[in-house]
Amino acid sequence: MHTPSNPYSRRDLLRISAVGLAGACLPSVASPQAAFPSKRPAPQSRSFRSPAVDAEITRVAGLIRDPELAWLFSNCLPNTLDTTVRTGSYAGHPDTAVITGDITAMWLRDSSAQVWPYLPFLKQDQPLATMIEGLIRRQTRCILIDPYANAFLTDLTSTAKMDWSKNDKTEMRPGVGERKWEVDSLCYPVRLAHRYWKETGDTSPFDAQWLEAMHSIVKTFREQQRKSSPGPYHFQRASEHPTETLGEEGFGTPARSVGLIHSGFRPSDDACTYPLNIPANFFAIQTLHRLEEMFAQIAHDSTAAHDAASLATEIEAALKQYATVRHPKAGLIWAFEIDGFGNALCMDDANVPSLLSLPYLGACSESDPLYAATRRFVLSDANPYFFKGSAAEGIGGPHVGQNMIWPMSLIMRALTTHDEAEQVQCLRWLKKSSAGTGFIHESFNKDDVTHFTRDWFAWANTLFGELILTLAKTNPRLLAASTI
């Protein structure tokens, strides 16, 4: 068994399957033929307890006729709360770290997404709201430490290094776990903060420090438009995997400055082939409009609001001009990445933001003809990372490699359709992909669900919980069916 003290790369650690790092943290796996006992830790052993979330689990599980699906939901939705939350205080305010699961570090992206399904319950559960406030404040501190970092240590004063980042050639500051520049890393905390504000009306986390961090986000986005220079960020790592490092002395593949934001890495933490990642730029537009609203209504700063709106308009115009490509099989679709010189990468990756996830993120509607064409492409064998096997079919990515489907892509597929038959099929695949463990994994083999990676991946678990909560609102009749 690999452990964090062994000299393996992050990629090696994430290939751990059902006997991986979480084995000591999660209850033993039950036979899928057995009854379905809860896989949650005992109440006294949970890292955070929310009566409101627990009540919703009981209510929604009662709507699900399929006992295994209800069991999977009941285990997965609370997984972040049960196992990954670390609460405390800092400078007289709540402070919350949320680790990813089998890696004891906090990703800005993952931590924001992990708690997202709990936000509708904040009005019912003040301690839950306080915990989320603590996460917003923690993310603010992280962004101020380094807006180019994607992952942070639980101790933000620590100079320790994660095994795979010890020798990275970049500017590593105390508290930084990994410094892969990814546009979405700065989008997710804004999405979380904006939703928290809308759900609670509370503006107390949005103090001078938070405003400084938000200004840093806009500044970083503008730096990475690279209009006059490559900007300050560079990154190199010695690795047998080319997706772990950036070429051109750490500045990445050349790209023309066309108004889009350059990214070193994708949401998968894999290096971009072409630095202009289209889904991430769509997400950035949503982010900037959220900042525009918060700058105007909370900070009463019309100048900052105008600056955010202006940048969003610029990126939107660039996407309209450069983001589409005419594929020989699929026709006119959005590319996954481009370089502004006319080169484009046609694929999709399971991690969010992805092309498949654009309606989920609010970047377009499901009925948009361009999205519909792109969706057909990414869910076909024209996408090099779409895999079809005897166990399931779905999207994977270079991070884990060939023939490995990510349940996250199945969840996104179900969340971006109103086709009930498609939703049911995704639920069947997701249920099967658990391989009797009661949890959702990072990936599984298209022909063998028992060959999977990461048995403790909290984002995938709570995202699955979000899917079930969504269906309980939009299509409860589906959950009540006995044919899943």
Ordered by where they begin, the domains of the chain are 15-479 (1.50.10.10)
End-to-end CA distance of the chain: 35
The SS3 of residue 183 is helix
Lowest mean pLDDT among 11-20, 31-40, 109-118, 270-279: 11-20
Residue 247: φ, ψ to 5°:
-80, -170
In the structure, how many helices (H) and strands (E) does the chain have? 16, 15
Q: Is the pLDDT of residue 153 over 50?
A: yes
Residue 214: pLDDT band by 50, 70, 90 thresholds? very high
> Can you tell me the distance from the alpha carbon of 228 to that of 232, in angstroms, rounded to the nearest whole number?
12
In whole angstroms, how far apart are CA 125 and each of 49, 54, 96, 130, 134? Answer: 10, 11, 16, 9, 15
**According to the model, what pLDDT value does residue 463 have?**
98
Mean pLDDT (the chain, rounded)? 93
**According to the model, what pLDDT value does residue 24 have?**
35
**According to the model, what pLDDT value does residue 231 have?**
96
Over residues 363-396, the pLDDT tens digits come to 999 999 999 999 999 999 999 999 999 999 999 9
Tokens of 90: 């800092």
Is the Cβ–Cβ distance between 277 and 339 less than 8 Å? no
Q: What is the DSSP string of 222-260?
A: HHTT-SSS--S---B---SSGGGS-HHHHT-S----SSS
What residue ranges in 392-455 does DSSP mark as E strands? 393-395, 404-405, 443-445, 448-453
**According to the model, what pLDDT value does residue 481 have?**
87
Residues 6+ apart with CB under 8 A from 30: 36, 37, 39, 436, 438
Share of the chain above pLDDT 70, in %: 93
**According to the model, what pLDDT value does residue 319 have?**
98
Lowest mean pLDDT among 28-32, 90-94, 465-469: 28-32
Share of the chain above pLDDT 90, in %: 92
In whole angstroms, how far apart are CA 183 and each of 162, 186, 232, 258, 276? Answer: 22, 6, 15, 16, 10
**According to the model, what pLDDT value does residue 307 have?**
98
